[in-house]
Amino acid sequence: MVRVYPFGEGKTEEMVFKVLCTQYPDLNNVNLNKFVSVGGKNKFSEKIKETLQADLIPDTEIQIVVFRDLDHGEIFDDVAQSFQNLAWILLTKWNLTPQIKVHPEKPNIYILQQQATTDTPGLRLVLHFPDDKIFDGLNVVMRNRTTDGYILALGFDETILRRFACKIKRDASTASQAPNVLRDLINTYIPNIVASNGITFDQDKDFLAAYLCATRFWTVHRSEEQNKLAEVIMKRAAKYRPELLKQMFQSWLDAIQMVVQ
Other Cβ atoms less than 10 A from the Cβ of 95: the count is 8
State the minimum distance, in angstroms, from the CB of residue 91 to other proteins. 15
Q: Which residues contact 75 (CB under 8 A, 6 or more apart)?
A: none
State the minimum distance, in angstroms, from the CB of residue 39 to other proteins. 10
Residues lying near other proteins in the complex (CB under 8 A): 1, 3, 31, 33-34, 36-37, 47, 50-51, 53-55, 57, 59-60, 118, 163, 167, 221-223, 228, 231-232, 235-236, 239
**Distance between CA atoms of residues 245 and 104, nearest Å:** 24
Written as one string, the DSSP assignment of 136-155 is HT-SS--SSB-HHHHHHHHH
Contact 92, 105 (CB under 8 A): no
Contact 156, 234 (CB under 8 A): no
**Nearer to other proteins (CB atom), residue 45 or residue 203:** 45
State the minimum distance, in angstroms, from the CB of residue 52 to other proteins. 9
Q: Which residues contact 133 (CB under 8 A, 6 or more apart)?
A: none
**Nearer to other proteins (CB atom), residue 131 or residue 231:** 231
**Nearer to other proteins (CB atom), residue 23 or residue 108:** 23
**Nearer to other proteins (CB atom), residue 103 or residue 167:** 167
State the minimum distance, in angstroms, from the CB of residue 157 to other proteins. 14
CA distance between the termini of the chain:
14
State the minimum distance, in angstroms, from the CB of residue 159 to other proteins. 12
**Nearer to other proteins (CB atom), residue 170 or residue 228:** 228
